[in-house]
Amino acid sequence: MCIGVQGVLEQLGLLGDFRKVVSGFVDTYPMSKNLFTLPSYSQPNLVRHFLKKSYDAYNALENAAMLEELFNKWAPSTQAISRVTYGV
């Protein structure tokens, strides 16, 4: 987990509660590099390539939605997921 996020959660006394609902994070950037050979692995390029659409890359909700769509489109194996999963 990003040290900045963990530090803030610790300072606010919320890290324990956070760990109750979040077990870890999947990093789609290295996952895409492990699964595919592409000229660019930026999220907008991945969305264009795999989903054939564009989106507002400066909108956090759209970013999250696109990552979910990419993940579902790729349908990675359990092994591919475990290689890029980081615990909290």
Residue-wise pLDDT for 45-72, tens only, equals 999 999 999 999 999 999 999 999 999 9
What pTM does this model have? 0.81
Residue-wise pLDDT for 69-83, tens only, equals 999 999 999 999 999
Give the chain's length: 88
Contact of 71 with 51, CB cutoff 8 Å: no
